[in-house]
A = this chain, B = another copy of it.
Amino acid sequence: MAQERPLPSVVQRMWGREPVSRRGPRPRLDLATITDAAIGIADAQGLAGVSMAAVASRVGVAATALYRYVDSKEDLLTAMADGVVPPPPEPDGTPWRDYLARWTRIQRDLLLEHAWLLSVARLVPPLGPRRLLWLDRALTALDGTGLDPGEKINVVTSLTGYALTDAALVHGLTGGDPQMEGAAISGAADYGEVLAGLVDPETYPSLTAVMSTGVLGGAEGWVDDGDFTFGLDLLLDGVEALIGRKG
């Protein structure tokens, strides 16, 4: 029924299971070295700078040598997406709401710091050791809430998604320039002004009404930190209501 597409071998290597080689010369590289080099390039020049040749030259081998460690460039991107992730904060008995708010915010900030992540398709489901550690700690924070396992998973998934969407939105509005966060859309005009030049009031009545209030404008608009907190609280209120129903 299910087609036989085995897990990419890069996943095994992400878990430190490099194959034991008895014959031949010792490997000069490992996956982590390659991944770190690729991440460095992506941080500096974006995903467009990450060619197999560029990564290879950074670690001092020929481009084709990388294929001893990853089956394809897509696998390299998968490994990068796990490799950028730092260890999660430890719950240590923090109230679930405080912990998950912090957990979500750090994830969003990470996405903005490494905006190329927003263009990596295979972020979900998590398969690498670092992303799964984040999942584990979020589940830990929900211990004692009375939620069943399926509910916990759904809560965590929703929060991950919120971090991702918010980061994508902020990135889109600021043009990816970190200096501009909280300011205007890239270019001379801000988002509200741009829309005003495009939208006609009869076809887009509600949007026109909202635009006229200025909330889509620059610094006071969609992008600032208050909006992140607002949407996050919306979600956490939903979770709290669910927990209340259980108790």
Contacts and interface: CB of A to CB of B under 8 A. Distances in A.
Interface of A: 1-7, 11, 15, 118-119, 121-125, 127, 129, 132-133, 135-137, 139-140, 143, 149-155, 157-158, 160-162, 164-166, 168-169, 172-173, 175, 177, 180, 183-189, 191, 194-195, 198-199, 203-207, 209-210, 213, 215-216, 222, 227, 230-231, 233-239, 241-242
A2 B234 contact: no
A1 to B, nearest CB: 7
User: What number of copies of this chain does the assembly contain?
Assistant: 2
A162 B125 CA distance: 15
Contacts of A177: 3
B2 A188 contact: yes
Contacts of A125: 169, 172-173, 185, 191, 222
Given A158-B234, A161-B169, 5 more contacts: A3-B177, A15-B198, A137-B206, A140-B206, A149-B213
Given A119-B121, A161-B164, A235-B238, A136 B5 contact: no
A5 B187 contact: yes
A77 to B, nearest CB: 11
Nearest to A8: B187
B237 A124 contact: no
A207 B175 CA distance: 37
A234 B235 contact: yes
Contacts of A4: 187-188
Contacts of A124: 165, 168-169, 172
Given A165-B157, A231-B157, A204 B3 contact: no
A199 B245 CA distance: 33
Contact of A242 (B15, B123, B234): B234
Given A124-B172, A149-B213, A206 B139 contact: yes
A73 to B, nearest CB: 12
A204 B238 contact: no
Contacts of A165: 124, 157-158, 160-162, 164-165
Nearest to A177: B3
